Amino acid sequence: MKASRALAFARQHRSRFVAELKQFMRFPSVSNQPQHARDVRDCAKWLAKHLRQIGMEQVRIIPTKRHPIVYASWQHASGRPTILIYGHYDVQPPEPSDEWRTPPFEPSIRQNILYGRGASDDKGQLFAHVKSIESYLKTQRALPLNVKCIFEGEEELGGSPNLESFVRRNRPALHADAAVISDTRMLGTGHPALGYSQRGNIRFELELRGPEQDLHSGNFGGVVHNPLQALCEMIAGMHDSEGRIMIRGFYDRVREWSDEERGYMASTGPKDADILRDARVSKDWGETGYTLYERITVRPALTVNGISGGYQGSGVKTIIPARAIAKISIRLAPDQNPATIDRLFREHIAQVSPPTVRVEIRTLSGSRPVMVNRNHPALHAASLAFEKGFGAKPVFLRSGGSVPAASVFQKHLGIPPVLMGFALPDDRAHAPNEKFHLSNFFRGIETSIWYMAIAAKMSPGKSEAPQGRSTQQKQGQI
C-alpha cells in the first residue's frame, strides 16, 4: 500500500482536521479535578464516535476505576506487523487560569500556532495519528498494517493509575510489535527526535499537622511548632547546597554513564543554552558535574510542585496554621525503581519528622523509567518516517518527563515504545498558553502515514520482547 494517496488526502483536508482538533480540545477533560469527570467522559464519547466515523473497528469505551479508555482497532492486514498507538485525551488543569491570553478551552489560532489546553499534550499529537488512519481508510479502505489504539483519560492523574491493570488483563488481545507514543518533544523546530529513554516518576503528598486548629500567632508564637515551618525545614533538608537529593540510599541505583554514551548525548542532545532558553530562565541550578541535558534525563530530580498551608488570602492573618501540605514529585533516573524510592522517601521522612507534628505521606502514583535499544527496527522505521515527514533525520533523545504508558507496554507486552514526539520543547505543556504549531501537526500526520507504510515492512521476530509473539493479528476480546 502506498503512502502517497493518504498523504494527498491529508494535505487536502488540513483545515477540516484543524477544526476537528479544536472541537476535541473544547472538552475540558481535566482528569484530576472531580468537577470535570463528566467532561472527561464526554470527551471519550466524542473520540470514540470520531474513530467509528473514520472507519476504525471494535471501538469501545472501556471503564476503569476512574476515567475510561477509548479502544479501537483495525486488524485486516494479515501477515503484517501490528502497532499499538497510544495517546491520552485528558489534560492538565488550566490553573493559573488568569495567565492565559485566550481561554484554555476555547482553542484559538494566532500566526499558525494553535493555543489551548491539550494542544500539544496530548490531544494534538494523538489526533495526528487519528488523521493519518483516516487518510488511509478514506482513500484505500485499508491500513498498511494492523493497528490497535489505546487512548486513555488518566495520564495527567500522574502515573496512569489504571492503565497497567488494563494492559495486564488484556495482554493477549493487545499483542503488538511496537507501541507508538506521541507525547514527547522534538529537539527544536525542524529537528525531530525519537525518545529512547525516559525518567520514571513517583509523586507524594506530604501532610503535617500541628495544633488541632489555627492558633493566634501572638498568643502562641514561640511555643508551638508551626507545621508550615516544619514542612519548610523538611523540604529544605531534601537537597544539599549542590542540588543533590539528601535521601539515604537514593543514588544507589543511579548509573554513571560511559564516556561514549555521554559523548553521544552531548552530540545529539540540547545544549545547556537551549534548555535554559526553553525554560526561559537565565541561570541554571542543580547538580554540578553534569550537563543540563544529563541532569534532566539521566539524573533524578525532586520537585516541590505545590505547598499550601495557613492563610493565603489578601492581607494578613496572624495565625500558626494547623496544617500544611506539600505535593512532591521525584523523577527517577534509569534503573531507579519507584517502589524502592517510595520506601526510601518514607524512611527519610520518618527520620526527619520532629516529635511536635504529625506527618502523613500519601504516595499518589509512580512509573518506572524506560530505556529502549536505539537499534530496534521499530525505531529505525520511525527514523525513516521522520525523515519523510519532517524532511530531517531525527536524533535519538532522552526525555526528562515520563509517559507512564511506555513503561507499562515495555513491561507487560514486551514491546518497545516508539516515542515519536511532534511537540516543541517550549510548547508550554502543563503551563498557561499551551500551544501546538500547526506545521508540526501536519508534519506529524504525514510522519504517521509514512510510519505505517514503512513499519508494514518490518520483519517479524526482531523485537526484544521476552514473550513469544507473532506478527499475525490476534483477535482477542478487549
Q: Measured from the CB atom, is 364 or 465 closer to its own copies?
A: 364
CA 38 to chain centre: 22
- Which one of residues 305, 375, 467, 475 is an interface residue with its own copies (CB under 8 A)? 305
Q: Which residue has the cell 527496527?
A: 377
Specify the residue, 203 or 443, whose C-beta has the smaller distance to its own copies: 203
Q: Which one of the spans 53-61, 187-195, 314-322, 343-351 is the region binding its own copies (CB under 8 A)?
A: 314-322
Of 378, 432, 402, 400, nearest to 116 by C-alpha is 432
**Cell numbers placing 472:** 499475525
Burial class of residue 262, CB neighbours in 10 A (0-12, 13-18, 19+): middle
Show the cell assigned to 318. 496572624
Question: Measured from the CB of residue 379, what is the shortest distance to its own copies in angstroms?
Answer: 21
d(CA 316, CA 456): 65
Shortest gap between Cβ of 228 and its own copies (angstroms)?
Answer: 5
Shortest distance in whole angstroms from residue 151 CB to its own copies:
20
Helix boundaries (H) for 420-474 = 438-455
Q: Which helix (H) or strand (E) holds 390?
A: helix 377-390
CB 358 to its own copies: min, Å: 10
Tell which one of 309, 338, 404, 444 touches its own copies (CB under 8 A). 309
User: Within positions 439 to 458, which residues make up the interface with its own copies, using CB under 8 A?
Assistant: none
- In sequence order, which residues have a C-beta less than 8 Å from that of residue 316 and are 6 or more positions away? none
The three-point CA angle 359-365-368 to 5° equals: 125
Q: Which stretch binds its own copies (CB under 8 A): 3-11, 57-65, 132-140, 274-282?
A: 274-282
Helix (H) or strand (E) holding 37: helix 37-53
What is the contact mask toward its own copies in residues 396 to 425, using x (rule: CB under 8 A)?
Answer: ---xxxx----------------------x
Q: Which three cell numbers stand for residue 170?
A: 488484556
φ, ψ at 62 (rounded to 5°)? -100, 115
Q: Is 285 in the site for its own copies (CB under 8 A)?
A: yes
Our finding on whether 106 is near its own copies (CB under 8 A) is: no
Question: What are 239's three cell numbers?
Answer: 537537597
Q: Please say which residue, 310 or 476, places its beta carbon nearer to its own copies.
A: 310
114-173 positions binding its own copies, by CB under 8 A:
157-158
CB of 346 to its own copies, least distance (A): 18
Cβ–Cβ < 8 Å for 81, 98:
no
Does 221 help bind its own copies (rule: CB under 8 A)? yes
Query: Does 226 help bind its own copies (rule: CB under 8 A)?
Result: yes
102 belongs to the binding site for its own copies (CB under 8 A): no
Using CB under 8 A as the binding criterion, the count of chain residues that bind its own copies stands at 100
The most distant pair of C-alpha atoms in the chain lies apart, rounded to whole Å, by 80
Least distance between its own copies and beta carbon 61 (Å):
22
Residue 478 is given by DSSP the state: -
Q: Choose the binding region for its own copies from 21-29, 168-176, 353-361, 370-378 (rule: CB under 8 A).
A: 353-361
> Which residue among 13, 327, 380, 474 contacts its own copies (CB under 8 A)?
327
Residue 87: closest CA among 53, 42, 118: 118
Q: Which of 79, 237, 249, 263 binds its own copies (CB under 8 A)?
A: 237
Stretch that binds its own copies, among 53-61, 209-217, 343-351, 440-448 (CB under 8 A): 209-217
Task: Look at residue 110 and give its three-state secondary structure.
Answer: strand
Please state the closest distance from residue 117 (CB atom) to its own copies, in A. 12
Least gap, CB of 51 to its own copies (angstroms):
27
DSSP 75: -
DSSP state of 394: P
∠ CA 389-392-396, rounded to 5°: 100
Under the binding rule (CB under 8 A), the answer on residue 8 touching its own copies is no
Residue 34, C-beta contacts closer than 8 angstroms, at least 6 positions apart? none
Q: Whole-number minimum distance, CB 72 to its own copies, in Å?
A: 27
- The conformation of residue 36, written as its DSSP 8-state character, comes to G
Footprint on residues 47-86 left by its own copies (CB under 8 A): none
Instruction: Determine, following the binding rule CB under 8 A, whether residue 292 of this chain makes contact with its own copies.
Output: yes
Stretch of residues binding its own copies (CB under 8 A), selected from 3-11, 129-137, 213-221, 387-395: 213-221
